[in-house]
Structure 1
Amino acid sequence: MGGGEMKGRAIYAYCIVAGVSPDRLERAPRGVPDGSPPRLLSIADGIDLVIADVDASAWSEDVITAGLRDIDWVSERALRHEEMVSFFLDADALVPMKAFTIFRSEARARDHVREREASVRAAIDRVGGCVEWGVRMRFDERAARVARERDAAAQKPASGAAFLARKKQIADATRGARVEAAEVASAIVERLAAPARAHLRIPPPEGSPTQLVAEAALLVPHDAQAELERIAEEARAELARYGVDLELNGPWAPYHFSRGA
């Protein structure tokens, strides 16, 4: 969308979907503020763009730029966008658009997608029948120390000297526990990826807390989600011995696996 003001109607784009019937949209959520009920804009056989009419003056580049400085403005619209996208999680394929994607007309919206048809079809083939799950593993030094002390207490040292030696061993081991935790967490990521079609590791952002030892996105077939959750539950008990907490979140639209579409 170009800069400056727009007048009249504009098109808000939510996502590209495959295998969605128009009557499904009767149950769709409200969508962005002041937007019309969503509808399907045909792109190709079986592939549609989910769109809504919006007031062009309320979604001009100048308005969006100003709105991005207002956390409440951003939050409401981003949440409404995500709610609409998530409504199509069980579509044959779902390729989400970025929030605040605006076109001047249906023709412009259709042309935008068709100009990228090869990459769009590649994304649909890649993510079809899948959703995205996220996993984060964080290290807690105190939890690691408590777990080691619990293991040591179960061994019941025979003498006072042995007890003091064991305490020193625990202290020394705790100092290297984060490295060990990161190695275990990395192996758990591979285990979680077993039922996934694809996965990618997400490097920690600069300045992120050192407690984060692993983060990944998983592209999981609809019928493999229960298996993923089962593996995660088993892994939590193992990770607790190393002071690591596993957070599994999802399902989400496959943002990480549809980039470039």
Structure 2
Amino acid sequence: MADSGTYLYAVTREEDRADPAVLEGVTGVAGAAVRTVAHAGLVAYVSTVPLEQFGEEPLRRSLEDLDWVGETARAHHGVVEAVAESSSTAPVRLVTVYGGEDQVRDMLARRHEEFSEVLSQVAGRREWGVKAYAERAAEPPPDQGADEPASSSPGTDYLKRRKARLRSRDDAWREAAGRAEDIHATLVAVAVASRRHRPQDPRLSGRDEVMLLNGAYLVDDDRRAEFAATLDELRGPGVQIELTGPWAPYSFTQLGPDPSAAEARGDT
């Protein structure tokens, strides 16, 4: 039995093939070199990987190791971004492994129309990420609600003050959530396409603030300055905005899983 497989990172059109110099010094998963496999007018960017790590059974175990997943994801995305710097690129799912180059060529033939369609959509465009966070609402002063008539019960007065603080916090939250919706709607008008991902848990985002918007926007390269300027105009108190990119168009090129390949399933 073969002891190695062919790991797939991304696909471009033949006319957009990345300059070989782009791949010089780029290290793929498991420290493997990156090469190309061309067929049916498409070019696949691949590496040879050991099946003792990337075969279907070992892969199931490896995906339970978060350190392994993180290291593999960084290497995978490093290759994709290197290619995307100079070519319209369709990244593929993390950890997609074929039995060999012949299987890759067969996949390129079978999925030629799908890849051609998404590559046409992203040509001359990059993905930008925008995250919006609700700023922590300032605590109202202790005497808020003091203009209300005092009651004869200290407990009743305390509950009134607490209700006032909660009302102030809720009002700030609603205002911030509305701002996030306005931010998304305004950016959609500048972008070619958009996707809203689920807000990240603070443990993943690394921030204490609640994430209100986790958006991806496909933007024409000649409108990137306009996109950034539009975003700057949307900044203001109550909501913190974070812009990342440009990225390869991960959110706009995902095809369904290929049954002929071993793949990481889910949202890895």
Structure-2-length-normalised TM-score: 0.76
How far apart are 1:49 and its partner, in Å?
0.5
Query: In the alignment, is the contact (CA less than 8 A) between 2:9 and 2:80 conserved in 1?
Result: yes
How far apart are 1:66 and its partner, in Å?
1.3
How far apart are 1:26 and its partner, in Å?
4.2
Residue type of the alignment partner of 2:20: D
Q: CA separation in 1, counterparts of 2:56 and 2:128?
A: 32
* 1:50-98, Cα deviation, whole Å (9 max, x unpaired): 0112223332112211111212111111111111111122334110011
Out of 110-119 and 194-203, give the one that drifted further.
194-203
Equivalent positions of 1:72-87 (< 5 A) are 72-87=67-82
- Taking a change above 3 Å as real, the CA distance of residues 128 and 80 of structure 1, as seen in their structure-2 partners, is same
**What is the aligned length?**
234
Query: In the alignment, is the contact (CA less than 8 A) between 1:25 and 1:38 conserved in 2?
Result: no
Out of 60, 64, 67, the position equivalent to 1:69 is: 64
1:154: which partner in 2? none
Out of 183, 188, 191, the position equivalent to 1:188 is: 183
2:27: which partner in 1? 30
Equivalent positions of 1:193-232 (< 5 A) are 193-204=188-199, 211-232=210-231
Query: In the alignment, is the contact (CA less than 8 A) between 1:22 and 1:40 conserved in 2?
Result: no
Out of 218-227 and 121-130, give the one that drifted further.
218-227
How far apart are 1:164 and its partner, in Å?
5.1
Q: CA separation in 2, counterparts of 1:127 and 1:249?
A: 18
Structure 1, unpaired ranges of 5+: 1-5, 150-162
Q: CA separation in 1, counterparts of 2:216 and 2:170?
A: 29
- Taking a change above 3 Å as real, the CA distance of residues 103 and 207 of structure 1, as seen in their structure-2 partners, is same
Q: CA separation in 2, counterparts of 1:26 and 1:203?
A: 33
Q: CA separation in 1, counterparts of 2:169 and 2:53?
A: 56
SS state of the match for residue 11, structure 1? strand
Residue type of the alignment partner of 2:40: A
SS state of the match for residue 196, structure 1? coil
The percent identity for this pair of structures is: 27
- Taking a change above 3 Å as real, the CA distance of residues 33 and 140 of structure 1, as seen in their structure-2 partners, is same
1:121: which partner in 2? 116
SS state of the match for residue 133, structure 2? strand
Residue 138, structure 1, aligned to residue 128, structure 2: no
Out of 220-229 and 108-117, give the one that drifted further.
220-229
Q: CA separation in 2, counterparts of 1:184 and 1:174?
A: 15
- Taking a change above 3 Å as real, the CA distance of residues 184 and 26 of structure 1, as seen in their structure-2 partners, is closer
CA RMSD of the aligned region, Å?
3.1
Structure-1-length-normalised TM-score: 0.78
How far apart are 1:205 and its partner, in Å?
7.0
Residue type of the alignment partner of 2:185: E
